[in-house]
Amino acid sequence: MTAAPAALPRSASIDWPETAARLLTQLRRNGTRVHAITNAAAQVLTANLLLAVGGTPSLTISPDEITAFATRADALLVNLGTLDNDRRAAIPWGIAAAKAQAKPWILDPVFVDASPPRLELARLCLAGTPCVIRCNGAEFAALSGRDPSPESVGEYAAALRSTVALTGPVDWVSDGERFVAIENGHPLMTRVTAMGCAVTALIAAFAAIEREGFTAAASALLVAGVAAEVAAERAAGPGSFPPAFLDALHGLDQAQIRARARLA
Amino acid sequence: MTAAPAALPRSASIDWPETAARLLTQLRRNGTRVHAITNAAAQVLTANLLLAVGGTPSLTISPDEITAFATRADALLVNLGTLDNDRRAAIPWGIAAAKAQAKPWILDPVFVDASPPRLELARLCLAGTPCVIRCNGAEFAALSGRDPSPESVGEYAAALRSTVALTGPVDWVSDGERFVAIENGHPLMTRVTAMGCAVTALIAAFAAIEREGFTAAASALLVAGVAAEVAAERAAGPGSFPPAFLDALHGLDQAQIRARARLA
Amino acid sequence: MTAAPAALPRSASIDWPETAARLLTQLRRNGTRVHAITNAAAQVLTANLLLAVGGTPSLTISPDEITAFATRADALLVNLGTLDNDRRAAIPWGIAAAKAQAKPWILDPVFVDASPPRLELARLCLAGTPCVIRCNGAEFAALSGRDPSPESVGEYAAALRSTVALTGPVDWVSDGERFVAIENGHPLMTRVTAMGCAVTALIAAFAAIEREGFTAAASALLVAGVAAEVAAERAAGPGSFPPAFLDALHGLDQAQIRARARLA
């Protein structure tokens, strides 16, 4: 599962724990602003994740306010869940505002495998060249028309001139030139709604600091995976896991990241 | 309060703890899909309850996506809370998709006693013959025009050719032929928003496995009531109760259900 | 920071712990109804805060239902966050219903500093004379055109013939004649989304019992600040803080309030 594609060199030269901890420190210091156009089930957890790491979230989806909020933000997250008329109208203006300010935006094409209009809209969004696309295997397959593999992830990233972060039991990140697999995380993450959506907001916050989507995405997934492992040791199940996850993110330091990091 | 109506035999022949545990096991094994058109305050807790018991929730309320999602799901939940234009437009298409696939759908007529347009819409929904109607006493009175009693619940279920699950300090379930009262539960359930709405999603998940609404509803209310009792022993108040409730649901087994079940 | 304006007498004559505890007791006894037109990130926490103190929340934002719900409620909260078309249409009808019934309504002008259309709408709302305006420093500056200070808060309250509650590390409350500073609270409150929005719902509930906005607002901020301090001692970070905060509110009594109250 985690074999790198032959054509893509491993990113062995990056000290991931150091990089992730550095981005986390800068995020806490800067109070990085992320505007999230995200789904109804993700709004609270997304905002609380950003607050737990010292960021500054905003969440409006109103089409006539989105420009003001996206312009103020350091990065924009576009999540296609619960795609109602307001969200549909807000998304292109949000992306336009981010691009006009040369700020990164991140796409989370939730459930494009389940809804044809959503898949069509995701393809239109891709024309705006997100800094990172974060998806799961089924969403990747619907978007790219290929089975997920390190090769197909790398090739799809190259075709889009973007970074693809495919999350699952092992997370794969590629920008078409480099590839990294992150083995951190915990199964309880799949028993909490919108956990992946919220983690994508951390990718957005890191991308505001580190414009290379590859580095931002892999660092954010490492931070989230380590925090999930810390939290799972304290939690009694999927109900106590999200509070413990936010507590763990809030206190996370480089020593914890280094002790637990498993990248390949 | 818990006296059975003279006309309705008790369901003494059903081993409720065994039935509830069997449905829970199948739900965990199948990853049963429930699509929930539910209110804004209930979406996260509903999804997290379904995930905690091993189900697969989806939540979109977008009218042009609802058909795809309701068709994919094994059961549909229609909750009339925070009834905005999108929800209003999505509901009839969701019900139509469920019926076209011969999949069960469940009605939760939240606050029909408070809003005349909502009461009218609930009556239109009832023409689509839900598998189960889950309501409280005030909602039952508004819908049926009668004071809640075992007799009126049974007769209203018979008139609707459906199952009525009336929840309160004691839960009453009747399909017009049988009646059961479930005494499990805890007062902290009333100090958490959308707890009843979320439990209705468990009825929907069980109805996907066990098409008899009477059996599905009573089993789900038994599971939720026992989990609430376990959680209340671990919780320090209404804030720590929901995480403990999800943890308890996640780990619940037949021994716990049997040790605590109080049905009449 | 906490110096009183020369022109405004301190409210030394009020026994704040006794007043706050009395309002809390009445709220628990009455099950005070608050209808909240509030933002998507605040709905669940707002409802759960009201339930934790024994109140009865409702949350619909549907324009054709708002009149029925606002009429049933004892107080109305209008929060301008995530201001979509439904919320925009519902707000004036909600305010009209509250005023028609002579019931108090409270304004929370979230992020008026970030969105010009929201600022314009907030000014239109102010024409409806809210009982209390709860805002932070940036929102106050955008609304009043002045830097926040005890003087400017008092003068703006006098100009509006309302009570202004400006929250921050120290909370300032003035009705233009009196002034009080509440020093209770905890920094973790700023690491949880919608915490300020939810506390404003407690102001609304207290205003339903005690029509003097000055007394209601200061008492609610005292209760919330003390509960936050209790919760912070039990919490391991921003994830476990909200459950602990609701638990603390649920159990709060006059002795705890008196032991911790710091007002000036």
Q: Are B136 and B164 in contact (CB under 8 A)?
A: no
- Dump pLDDT digits (tens) for B1-27: 444 455 566 666 899 999 999 999 999
On chain C, the residues whose CB falls within 8 A of the CB of B118 are 65
- Average pLDDT over every residue of B184-204: 98
- Dump pLDDT digits (tens) for C29-54: 999 999 999 999 999 999 999 999 99
DSSP state of B247: H
Q: In chain C, whose CA is at the least distance from the CA of A240?
A: C240
Inter-chain contact B191–C58, Cβ cutoff 8 Å? no
The rounded distance, in Å, linking the Cα atoms of B132 and B105 is: 7
Inter-chain contact C237–A86, Cβ cutoff 8 Å? no
pLDDT of residue A10: 65
| Helix, coil or strand: residue C163 | strand
pLDDT of residue B13: 82
The rounded distance, in Å, linking the Cα atoms of C197 and C193 is: 9
Residue B40 has pLDDT above 70, yes or no: yes
DSSP letters spanning A113-180: TT-HHHHHHHHHHHTT--SEEEE-HHHHHHHHSS---HHHHHHHHHHHTSEEEE-SSSEEEE-SS-EE
Which member of C47, C58, C247 has the closest CB to residue B239?
A: C247
The rounded distance, in Å, linking the Cα atoms of A118 and A90 is: 14
Residue C1 has pLDDT above 80, yes or no: no
Q: Are C184 and C262 in contact (CB under 8 A)?
A: yes
pLDDT of residue A6: 52
Inter-chain contact A59–C44, Cβ cutoff 8 Å? no
- Average pLDDT over every residue of B235-262: 98
- Residues of B in CB contact (< 8 Å) with A are 40, 43-44, 47-48, 51-52, 57-62, 64-65, 68-69, 72, 86, 234, 242-251
DSSP state of B124: H
Q: In chain C, whose CA is at the least distance from the CA of A234?
A: C236
Which member of B47, B57, B245 has the closest CB to residue A239?
A: B245
pLDDT of residue B202: 98
pLDDT of residue A2: 44
Which member of B44, B82, B117 has the closest CB to residue C59?
A: B82
pLDDT of residue C2: 44
- Dump pLDDT digits (tens) for A131-176: 999 999 999 999 999 999 999 999 999 999 999 999 999 999 999 9
On chain B, the residues whose CB falls within 8 A of the CB of A83 are 60, 62, 65
pLDDT of residue C247: 98
Residue C7 has pLDDT above 90, yes or no: no
The rounded distance, in Å, linking the Cα atoms of C211 and C205 is: 10
Inter-chain contact B111–C40, Cβ cutoff 8 Å? no
- Strand pairing of B75-79 and B33-37? parallel
- Average pLDDT over every residue of C189-201: 98
Using the structure block, give the residue that is written with the tokens 């049905």. B263
Chains in contact with C, counting 3 or more C-beta pairs less than 8 Å apart as contact: A, B
Residues in Cβ contact with A107 at an 8 Å cutoff, skipping those fewer than 6 apart: A78, A80, A122, A125, A126, A130, A132, A133, A134
Q: Are C137 and C112 in contact (CB under 8 A)?
A: no
Q: Going edge to edge, which strands form the sheet with B163-166? A: B56-58, B33-37, B75-79, B105-108, B132-135, B163-166, B171-174, B179-182
- Average pLDDT over every residue of C67-95: 95
Å between B218 CA and nearest CA of chain C: 26
On chain C, the residues whose CB falls within 8 A of the CB of B237 are 52, 246-248, 250-251
On chain C, the residues whose CB falls within 8 A of the CB of A234 are 236
Residue B148 has pLDDT above 90, yes or no: yes
pLDDT of residue B8: 65
Separation of first and last alpha carbons in chain A? 11
Which member of B48, B65, B247 has the closest CB to residue A115?
A: B65
Q: In chain B, whose CA is at the least distance from the CA of C234?
A: B236
Amino acid sitting at position A85: N
Q: Are C168 and C97 in contact (CB under 8 A)?
A: no
- What is the length of chain B? 264
DSSP letters spanning C164-207: EEE-SSSEEEE-SS-EEEE----GGGGGSTTHHHHHHHHHHHHH
Per-residue pLDDT of chain A (264 residues; tens, 9 = 90+): 444 455 566 666 899 999 999 999 999 999 999 999 999 999 999 999 999 999 999 999 999 899 999 999 999 999 999 888 889 999 999 999 999 999 999 999 999 999 898 999 999 999 999 999 999 999 999 999 999 999 999 999 999 999 999 999 999 999 999 999 999 999 999 999 999 999 999 999 999 999 999 999 999 999 999 999 999 999 999 999 999 999 999 999 999 999 999 999
On chain A, the residues whose CB falls within 8 A of the CB of C84 are 61-62, 86
- Average pLDDT over every residue of C209-229: 98
Residue C250 has pLDDT above 50, yes or no: yes
Q: Are B237 and B93 in contact (CB under 8 A)?
A: no
pLDDT of residue A12: 61
Residues in Cβ contact with C257 at an 8 Å cutoff, skipping those fewer than 6 apart: C17, C20, C21, C222, C223, C226
- Average pLDDT over every residue of B89-106: 96
The pTM score is 0.95
Question: pLDDT-based confidence at B85, cuts 50/70/90?
Answer: confident
On chain A, the residues whose CB falls within 8 A of the CB of B59 are 39-41, 81-82
Inter-chain contact A51–C117, Cβ cutoff 8 Å? no
- Cβ-count burial A44-63 (b if 16+ within 10 Å, e if not): bbbbbbbbbbbbbbbbbbbb
Amino acid sitting at position B120: E
Residues in Cβ contact with B95 at an 8 Å cutoff, skipping those fewer than 6 apart: B76, B78, B105, B125, B128
Residues in Cβ contact with C133 at an 8 Å cutoff, skipping those fewer than 6 apart: C106, C107, C108, C109, C126, C143, C160, C162, C163, C164, C165
Amino acid sitting at position B15: D
Identify the CA nearest to C143 among candidates C107, C103, C192, C170. Answer: C107
- Dump pLDDT digits (tens) for C136-190: 999 999 999 999 999 999 999 999 999 999 999 999 999 999 999 999 999 999 9
Q: Are A209 and A22 in contact (CB under 8 A)?
A: no
A contact test, residue of B33, B35, B46, B48 with most A CBs within 10 A: B48
Residues in Cβ contact with B133 at an 8 Å cutoff, skipping those fewer than 6 apart: B106, B107, B108, B109, B126, B143, B160, B162, B163, B164, B165
The rounded distance, in Å, linking the Cα atoms of C164 and C173 is: 6
Percent of chain B's residues with pLDDT above 90: 92
pLDDT of residue C13: 82
On chain B, the residues whose CB falls within 8 A of the CB of C44 are 41, 44-45, 193-194
Residues in Cβ contact with B116 at an 8 Å cutoff, skipping those fewer than 6 apart: C68
Residue C245 has pLDDT above 50, yes or no: yes
B contact test, residue of C37, C48, C72 with most B CBs within 10 A: C48
- Average pLDDT over every residue of C56-77: 95
